[in-house]
Structure 1
Amino acid sequence: MNVQRASLSQGVVFSASVVVFNPDHTQLRQTLASFGVACEHLRASVPNASIALFLIDNGGLGDVSDTVVRLAAQGVACRVLTGHGNVGYGRGHNLAIEQMQSDLHLILNPDIDLDADALVAGCSFLDSHPDAGLLTPWIGDDAGAQQYLCRRYPTLVDLLARGFLPAAVRNSLFATRLARYEMRDLIDGASVVWDPPIVSGCFMLFRTAVLKRLGGFDPRYFLYFEDYDLSLRSHDIARVVYVPASRVIHHGGGASRKGSAHIRMFAASACKFFNRFGWRLW
């Protein structure tokens, strides 16, 4: 397969998008601060790199002028997209995807802390592996332990057990099957893994040409499973790769811990996903 590649030796035009809705402002500032530092390291590695950030306000963003100024001092041109209302996670990112002109584009959650060299490691890997079109990093939790967010194709039982069962029941009755679903046999802190079927939308580093060909996220998902959908479609035109040299911390939580509205959105999106790609119960 042929995908366009950016050459770090010639500089790279790098863009990123972050969608927020009533964000935790302390966490958002922390995420953008870590992103700014990672961009400084990228610019040190690639002195003529051009970097842009799209901050998409689905509601409740507030005044971020200080953040915009700080990012500008770090070499990041920040553009705030606002006034469109809460259009959902995927459609929010699509507002940026439709406008950006870059070599590489990062889909980033507002609850991610980037290692200082996360972007350098990710961009360097893509530069040296032209078949790779989508990269996912090593992802840790609040305590620094590894999260297993690369996935094999889910069954309905996998989703229910992982998302909604008490930990004691989950760990005693479903540990083996969930370990397989989470690819614990392959995903570690050292080995590059090619072609994991599904990767997390909290950090998706794309070649922009691949993302454009895919048309971004499917807008039919308001929240949840849009990353599953986009991951599976990505395999049609490029290779997907897990690269643990690129490292981030993820502070997010599951739908079941966010209340009944999120559980309903999770169920609705799961139905859309399985209707499109095929139901697997067990």
Structure 2
Amino acid sequence: MDINITGCIVLYDNNAEMLKRVIDSFLNTTLNVKLFLIDNSYSDRLRDIATDNRIDYFHNPSNPGFGTSHNIAILKAIDLKSKYHLILNPDIYFDKEVTNTLFEYGEIHPNIGLMMPLVLYPNGSIQHLCRLLPSPSGLFFRRFFSKFNFVKKIKEKSELKFTGYNKIINVPYLSGCFMFCRTEVLSEIGGFDERFFMYMEDVDLSRRIHKRYNTVFYPNVKIYHNFEKASFKNLKMFKYHIISAIKYFNKWGWIFDIERIKINRQCLKNLK
């Protein structure tokens, strides 16, 4: 049987009820799907949640990182020759029309390598997760001076808030909380860069796909995301974020990232 969509959730001591909600969301479809749970927790207590025969559970207590763990599932998706592969956070939930609609839209637009739907907080407000590629100064000011008016203006532009988040657009950076990818594209570009343990790996993946394909924000369907902003609350997560940011800019360039400038300018030009 051909697999339409494979999916993966990387786990680490997650709330079982929240996890069950995202699993049910993914499986609630008429399409042929397969879900991989890569559990980086010390114990395998979450194994019991994998009761459906469309789920494969893998206990991976070595915890090699977010992107590396997702790559385990990406390789399996490639072996299964699934049409699309969905990278999911464990704090997401959505209705069945989401994957069905994205699948249908992708089938008639073969130039799309990655899609993300409208992402909402549980209260219904918009999460502004369509972004320009970040610069070192932009990340620094947003992190440490977010209450200043000039930083708010930078943030509004970088998050493309002026678009209204109500139309289909080609965006260079889409959030890693829900990445609906064409599997052959992930095979072509090699999945996540495993140098990133956590954070910035979604920027890097989006950027590499965007260089060859359209990376599309598709607001005609919506999902809900319990966005935690862990690196703002946890010193260990903040450290991971800083290390990954350094690795990202070492890879792509700090001041003289000409490609970033060109990509961002083209994106803004297309949105005028």
Q: Describe the shift of the 1:161–1:250 C-alpha distance in structure 2 as closer, same or farther (beyond 3 A).
A: farther
Q: How many angstroms does 1:99 deviate by?
A: 1.6
Query: Does structure 2 conserve the Cα–Cα contact (< 8 Å) formed by 1:23 and 1:60?
Result: no
Corresponding residue to 1:158 among 138, 142, 145? 138
2:107 aligned with 1:136? no
TM-score by length of 2: 0.86
User: What is the letter of the counterpart of residue 41 of structure 2?
Assistant: G
The RMSD of aligned alpha carbons is 2.1
- 1:10-159 map, 5 Å: 13-37=4-28, 40=29, 43=30, 49-60=31-42, 62-64=44-46, 67-69=49-51, 71-72=52-53, 77-100=54-77, 101=80, 102-159=82-139
Separation in structure 2 between the aligned mates of residue 147 and residue 198 of structure 1, nearest angstrom: 14
Contact (CA 8 Å) 2:115, 2:218: kept in 1 or not? Answer: yes
Q: By how many angstroms is 1:278 displaced? A: 1.6
Q: Which residue of 1 aligns with 2:194?
A: 219
Q: How far apart are the structure 2 equivalents of 1:253 and 1:159?
A: 18
Counterparts of 2:50 and 2:225 in 1: how far apart (Å)? 23
Q: Report how many residues are paired.
A: 253
Describe the shift of the 1:162–1:113 C-alpha distance in structure 2 as closer, same or farther (beyond 3 A): farther
Give the whole-Å Cα distance in 1 for the aligned partners of 2:9 and 2:191: 14
Once residues 43 and 61 of structure 2 are traced to their aligned partners in structure 1, the CA distance between those partners, rounded to angstroms, is 13
State the 1:36 CA deviation. 2.5
Task: List per-residue Cα deviations over 1:231-268 (Å, max 9, x = no partner).
Answer: 11002332111101231111122244331111111000
Q: TM-score, normalised by structure 1?
A: 0.83
Query: Aligned with 1:81: secondary structure?
Result: strand
Tell me the CA shift for residue 142 of structure 1.
2.6
Helix, strand or coil at the partner of 1:99: helix
Task: State the distance in 1 between where 2:198 and 2:213 align.
Answer: 25
Answering whether residue 153 of structure 2 is matched by residue 176 of structure 1, we say: yes
- Return the alpha-carbon distance in structure 2 between the equivalents of residues 204 and 125 of structure 1: 15
What residue ranges of structure 2 are gaps of 5+ in the alignment?
257-272
* Aligned residues of 2:145 and 2:151 also touching (Cα < 8 A): no
SS of the equivalent of 1:147 reads coil
User: 2:211 corresponds to which residue?
Assistant: 236
Identity of aligned residues (%): 32
Residue type at the aligned position of 1:137: P
Q: Distance in 2 between matches of 1:280 and 1:139?
A: 31
| 1:192 counterpart (150, 168, 173) | 168
Change (3 A) 1:143 1:280: farther
Within 2, Cα distance between the matches of 1:61 and 1:141? 30
Could you tell me which runs of 5 or more consecutive residues in structure 1 were left unpaired when the two chains were aligned.
1-9, 44-48
Q: Secondary structure at the match of 1:52?
A: strand
Q: Does structure 2 conserve the Cα–Cα contact (< 8 Å) formed by 1:13 and 1:104?
A: yes
Contact 2:10 / 2:69 at 8 angstroms: preserved in 1? Answer: yes
Q: Is the 8 A contact 1:115 1:246 kept in 2?
A: no
Stretch moving more, 218-227 or 20-29: 20-29
Contact 1:154 1:280 in 2 (8 A): no
- Once the two structures are superposed, residues 166-214 of structure 1 have per-residue CA deviations (whole angstroms, 9 ceiling, x without a partner) of 6xx24x34221110010112251x31002x1111011000110001111
